[in-house]
Structure 1
Amino acid sequence: MKIIQSVTIDPVQKKAIYDLWNKEYPAKLKHEEVKHLDNYLSHLADLEYHLLTGPSMEVVGWALRFTRNNQPWFAVVIDSNLHGQGHGRRMLEEMKKTTDELNGWVIDHNEDLKENGEYYRSPLGFYLKNEFIILPETRLELEEMSAVAVRWVNKK
């Protein structure tokens, strides 16, 4: 598996990201059309994509780093068939190389259903294993998502 870093994505890559998003995130977060993903991305600044590609260069995971409120934020989605193989850690390590801090929202429960009817498994333990800390006082409580903030800070 190879990680490709870019500040832009082509239409094929965008469609793959859209498909991964809708397959792996809770159904409540689904984008009905690719243009809805475009709308989400258009409101983010300083986009930096990290695409995990398979043998045929197909996108099987992606990480996104962006700026929100003058802070570096991130999101990661990897095909669930590839979980537990170190790809998520590799993608985080790539993002950590060029910043001293990463912030993100993490769903911290296992109660939401994915499109396929399976329960979404919270990745909170994964982030804790990768040097992130939970900011319990910072929560996002929306109709479509309940999450806690996590942060990684470079300890140079």
Structure 2
Amino acid sequence: MTMRIEISKSLTEDQTKQIDHLWNELYPIKLKNRFGLLLKGTKEYNHHILLNEANEVIGWAVAFLRDDEIWFSILVSASNQNKGCGKMLIDSLKQNSKKLCGWVIDHNNDLKQDGSTYYTPMQFYLKNNFIVMDEKIETDIISAVKIKFEL
């Protein structure tokens, strides 16, 4: 399968719909329909769009400036996980930023839209040289820890 990453300041309407669909399919149901809120209030961001040969979005990552740090979010379609797609996206983010911060759900207690368990991707981040910070977020919607990559 041929894949390529496009880096863009904005998304097309079709890309936005595809990423929103992936977001709702992959993340816990508590985060449903929150994709549009992710970049609210941010001004500087770059989308890293992973496309297959049919020009379909199979993965996406974004790096954005918030509170004087570069933060990121990443998604890879279920059928393309464990095939190196996430690493491709993380490596693309790392090429453009020497530091990256993110929130990662660190437990397996949430359910996805289809009723299946949302499994923490923590091992993926640890394998890609992120470290777990002491900061934690606990709300009705999400329980997560801060992770950080630094060159």
Matched, 1:12 2:9: no
User: Aligned equivalents of 1:2 and 1:119: distance in 2?
Assistant: 30
For residue 123 of structure 2, the aligned residue among 122, 125, 146 is 125
Superimposed CA distance per residue, residues 15-36 of structure 1 (whole angstroms, 9 cap, x where no aligned partner):
01100000000000000xxxx6
Q: Which runs of 5+ in 2 are unaligned?
A: none
Instruction: Provide the secondary structure at the position in 2 that maps to 1:131.
Output: coil
- Tell me which of 132, 136, 142 is aligned to 1:145: 142
Counterparts of 1:111 and 1:37, CA distance in 2: 21
Find the aligned partners of 1:56 and 1:88 in 2 and give their Cα distance: 19
Number of equivalenced pairs: 149
Deviations 1:28-47 (A, max 9, x none): 0000xxxx643432322311
| Alignment TM-score, normalising by the size of structure 2 | 0.95
1:55-107 per-residue CA deviation (whole Å, 9 max, x = no partner) reads: 21011110010011010000001111111111101111111111110000000
Q: Determine if contact 2:24/2:113 at 8 Å carries over to the other structure.
A: yes
Aligned to 2:25: 23
TM-score with structure 1 setting the length: 0.92
Unaligned runs of 5+ in 1: none
Structure 2: which amino acid aligns with 1:59?
V
How many angstroms apart in 1 are the aligned matches of 2:5 and 2:84?
12
CA distance in 2, matches of 1:24, 1:98: 26
Q: Percent identity?
A: 36
What is the match of residue 80 of structure 2? 82
- Is the contact between residue 46 and residue 64 of structure 2 (CA under 8 Å) also seen in structure 1? yes
2:103–2:145 CA contact under 8 A, matched in 1: yes
